[in-house]
Amino acid sequence: MEFEYLVDGAVRKVAVEVKDGLVRFQEGETVFEAEILAVSDSELFLSVEGAGRRILLARDGDRRLVFHGGREYVLEAPGKAEGASFQGEDGGKEGGIVKAPMPGKVIKVLVAEGEPVRKNQTLLIVEAMKMENEIKAGRECVVRKVHVAAGDLVDAARPLIELE
C-alpha cells in the first residue's frame, strides 16, 4: 500500500508492505525492513538488524503522532496541516488548547501565562512510556493559561496549555 503524509511540513510518499511477520517501508530509493515483534493500539515493537525498536503511536483528531528515538513525528493528510507541532483544537489559527498526546507525566513547563512564544518553541515536556516528548507551539502566539505543573500526571487529550 502507498501512503501520502505530511511529515514535519513536507509531503512524503511511503509504500508499506507487510508479509510473513516482516514490514517493508520504501520512500523513494530508501528501503527499510524490520521484523514485527508486537503490535498494539499505542505501541509497535520492531527488530531492525537485531536491535529492538519501540515506537509509540497516538491520535490527535485526524493526525497520527509517532514517537521514536526521542523525536516526535506528526503525520497528517496533505493539505490539512500548517506544520508539525501541536496546534490546538482549531489548527492553531485563532488560539486553542494544547492537549496531551497520550497519558504521561509533565516533566517541565517551559512557558508562563502571558508569555509570547514563537513557532516550534517547546512549551513543555511530557514523559510517556519512559520517553520525553517535547510539546511545541504550532505558531507564534501568546500563552493564555497553563493548566499543569511539573510532576502532574495527565491523561490523553487533557488540556495542558491554552494559546491566544
Of the candidate ranges 22-31, 57-66, 82-91, 108-117, the one whose mean pLDDT is the lowest: 82-91
- State in words which class domain 2-76 has: mainly beta
Per-residue pLDDT tens for 125-152?
Answer: 888 777 788 888 888 899 999 999 999 9
Phi/psi of residue 19, nearest 5 degrees: -155, 130
Of 130, 65, 131, residue with least CA distance to 99: 65
Per-residue pLDDT tens for 46-57?
Answer: 898 888 888 888
CATH of 96-163, one of 3.40.30.160, 3.40.50.2000, 2.40.50.100, 3.10.20.440: 2.40.50.100
- The structural domains of the chain, with segments of one domain joined by +, span 2-76, 96-163
Residue 95 cell numbers, joined: 488560539
